[in-house]
Amino acid sequence: MSGICGGCRCGAVRYVLALHNLPPTYACHCTDCQTWSGSAFSQQAVVLEDAIEATGPITVFELSSPSGRTSRQRMCAVCHTRIFNTNSARPGVAVVRAGTLDRSNELRVTAHIWTRSKQPWLDLADGAPSWSEAPPPEDMAKALGFSRD
């Protein structure tokens, strides 16, 4: 398989991203991400949903927000590693849990969001854009190197 590969902790789910290079990633320091990841922040990559080809037993957890948006979290049905999610607010776009990439040790974090709830021991590298809460979508797209077409 060519592309950027990843998978869950137990190996039952594998996926390929139709990309030539590792995607840029961002860190979300919100308390939901801290709880969900069991860690200080979540590291994620934004890709087109069509660019993900996953194999193996995937189960879906749906979470609706009060504003009516539905997040669909895809996880391994065996070990429950979260792999990626989509959101009804952004059709066609998927957010991949960057730590599931085989080459996660090579990733760069190009933006930090929700730093308002960042854990205090964590120092962020100079120069990476950061926002205390959620950034405007166009600013985030720019930070991740996406153009508008």
Binding site for Zn ion (CB under 5 A): 8, 10, 12, 28, 30, 33, 76, 78-79
Tokens 């926002």, residue located:
131
Supply the minimum distance, in Å, between the C-beta of residue 149 and Zn ion.
27
Token pair belonging to 76: 């391994």
Judged by beta carbon, residue 50 or residue 119, the one nearer Zn ion is: 119
DSSP lists the bridge partners of residue 43 as 27
Token pair belonging to 81: 């590693």
- How many angstroms separate the CA atoms of 82 and 43, rounded? 12
Supply the minimum distance, in Å, between the C-beta of residue 78 and Zn ion.
4
Supply the minimum distance, in Å, between the C-beta of residue 79 and Zn ion.
3
Judged by beta carbon, residue 79 or residue 89, the one nearer Zn ion is: 79
Judged by beta carbon, residue 12 or residue 109, the one nearer Zn ion is: 12
Pairing of strands 109-113, 25-28: parallel
